[in-house]
Amino acid sequence: MVKLPNEIEAIRESCRIVAIVLSKIESYIKPGVTTGELDKIIEDVILSYDSIPAFKGYKVKGNEFPANACISVNEEVVHGIPGDRKLKEGDIVSIDVGVRKNLFYGDGAKTFAVGEIDSSKKKLLKVTQESLRIGLQNAVDGNKINDVSIAIQEHVESEGFSVVRDLVGHGIGKNLHEDPPIPNFYNRGNKFKFKSGMTVAIEPMVNYGTYKVRVLDDKWTYVTQDGKPSAHFEHSVLITEGEPEILTLI
């Protein structure tokens, strides 16, 4: 799980492109745009950096993801498939981007407001982003992964929200998803510790109501069971002896 210096450089470059994509797409997020249109913009930006959309064709249990990015609106937690759905004033939309360049991967996500959103959604986005920041403070050499998980869960639940249990963060490198798994909740069985040189993706998925989710018939899109909104923020980071290096920032 510990990466060599040349591998870290390749991961850093893929993550830099992820950050550029998430920065560029923000200006296109407005009422009336379709998720499919956003997906095409994301594809064009990724290809312009001589890299590959990591999610397109990604297989789980034989099912291939058909798009370049995961775009999830309101009650959609993650893995939303872009298409004809038009964004509306007051929506929130999570955009999850993966990039592969020089055989290594980068991964990151951000939830955006569409126009003006209500106070409850503003708080959901704020708390989710805060939980990622607080979790990252614990992602240092020698700490247990549960230190991150507990920090995220405690902050989220103290604000009256819930963390998704069915999906977790992960290592990243030559594969999009590697060990170790990084839950956003305490897991007694998780004995992993962070070690300098590891590259991991930490990604709180926070629901306004119940933590319970279900998968739609497309076999990809996770939605909240109660239909209430969900937010998702993700950074890929390099573990060091001090503060982790956030790779998906520009």
Token pair belonging to 134: 């607080």
Predicted pLDDT of residue 17:
98
**74-113 confidence digits (pLDDT tens):** 999 999 999 999 999 999 999 999 999 999 999 999 999 9
Domain spanning 5-246, CATH class: alpha beta
> Alpha helix locations (H) across 56-165?
119-137, 145-158
Strands, E assignment, 62-134? 63-64, 69-73, 76-78, 92-101, 104-113
pLDDT at 250: 84
Helix ranges (H only) for 26-111 are 35-48
pLDDT at 42: 98
Low-confidence ranges of the chain (pLDDT < 70): none
Supply the pLDDT for residue 38.
98
Per-residue CA distances from 133 to 194, 243, 249 (Å):
17, 11, 13
Residues 193 and 184: their CA atoms lie apart, in Å, by 15
